[in-house]
Amino acid sequence: MKVAIAFLFALVLVLVSRSQDSSAKPQKRLEDLREKTILVFTPHPDDDVFGAGGTIALLNRNHNKVYIVVYTNDDKGSYDPDMNSQRLAQIRRAVQEVSEGMLGTPKENILWMGYDDGMLEYAAQPKLTEEATATIRRIRPDVLLSVDPGEWYERWHKSDHRMAAFNTIDAVRAAEFWLYFPNQKLQQGLQPYRVPEMYFFYPSAQEANYFVDIEKAADLKFDAALKQVSQFEPAVTKYRPDWDAKDYAKAKEELRAKQLRKDGHYVEAFRYATGFNQF
C-alpha cells in the first residue's frame, strides 16, 4: 500500500496539521550515524559547505562515506572583467576540492555533473533527472542531503537552486521505480533504490524541523568556506587566489555573526523527510 497510502496519508496530514509532520524524527540522529553512505546534492560548488559544511565535517569524522554531487561549474559568478568562464570553472573546482577536503571529503568523492552556472533551469529534461537518478541508483545512499525544494524558496530558487532542488527530489522518486529510465537496469545493470532518509538544507524558518549542533566543527566550517576565496570580496571583484590577513579576519567574523545559533550553539538547520512526496 506504499504508494497510494503514503499519498493519502500526506493529504490527510495537511488537512489536519502541517506542524505534526514537522515533528517527524529520524530513528537515529544524523550526527550520530557511523559507516553509512551519505549523498549530498549541491547546486554550486559551495552550497554544500555554506549550507551543511559543519554537518559534513561531523559525518566524515564519524567514518561515514560522503559523496558530493555538484550540479554546476559555477563559471559565471565574478565581477572581475579579466576573468573568463574556463578559468573560473577551473578555480571553482580546485577550491571546492580544498574546501571539502578540509571537511574530510576525499577529492574522488566529488562528482561533477558539469552544467554551466546559471543555466541549470535550461538543462535538457528529463535527461537531468535521468542523470541524478543513475547517481542515486549507483551510490545507494543511506541518507541524502539536498537543497530544499520547499515552497518558501520558490522566489529565489528560480534558476539553479530551484532546479537542483526539484530535480534531486524527482530523481529520488524515479530511483525507486525501475520503469523510470529502465535502460539503467537493462543496459547499465543499475537496480532501483529507495532513499530512506533525506535532510534538506536551506530550509525556510517555518519548515526547519531538524538542527545539527555544529559547535565542534564551526570553526573548521568557516575556514573551509573561506577557501572559496573567489566567492568573497575582494576576490569576487578583482580575482586573487588568496586572502590578506585583515580581509580574512573580517570575512570570518561575518560568517560567525551570520551562522545560525540555537541555545548558544552554532547549528545548521534542515527539513527532515522520509519520502519524496512528504510535507
Which position among 106, 114, 196, 241 is part of the footprint of its own copies (CB under 8 A)?
114
Name the one residue in this structure whose C-alpha cell is 537531468.
128
Part of the chain binding its own copies (CB under 8 A), chosen from 31-39, 212-220, 238-246, 250-258:
250-258
67-86 residues near its own copies, rule: CB under 8 A: 73, 75-79, 81, 83-86
Q: Which of 146, 173, 174 is nearest to 162 (CA)?
A: 146
Looking at beta carbons only, is 36 or 239 nearer to its own copies?
239
Q: Does 52 bind its own copies (CB under 8 A)?
A: no
Our CB check for its own copies shows the closer of 33 and 40 to be 40
Residue 29 C-beta: closest distance to its own copies, Å = 20
- For residue 59, give the C-alpha cell: 559525518
Select the residue interacting with its own copies from 22, 37, 62, 159 (CB under 8 A): 159
Task: Please name the amino acid found at residue 113.
Answer: M
Residue 121, all three cell numbers: 533551469
Q: Is there binding between residue 8 and its own copies (CB under 8 A)?
A: yes
Q: Which residue has the cell 570553526?
A: 219
Helix (H) or strand (E) holding 273: strand 265-273
By CB under 8 A, residue 193 contacts its own copies = no
Positions in 128-147 near its own copies (CB under 8 A): none
Query: How many Cβ atoms are within 10 Å of 275's Cβ, its own excluded?
Result: 21
CB of 62 to its own copies, least distance (A): 25
Contacts to its own copies from residues 207-226, by CB under 8 A? 208, 225
Residue 54 phi, psi dihedral angles, 5° rounding: -65, -45
* Cβ neighbours of residue 239 closer than 8 Å, sequence gap 6 or more: 78, 80, 82, 83, 91, 230
> Which one of 39, 55, 66, 93 is in contact with its own copies (CB under 8 A)?
93
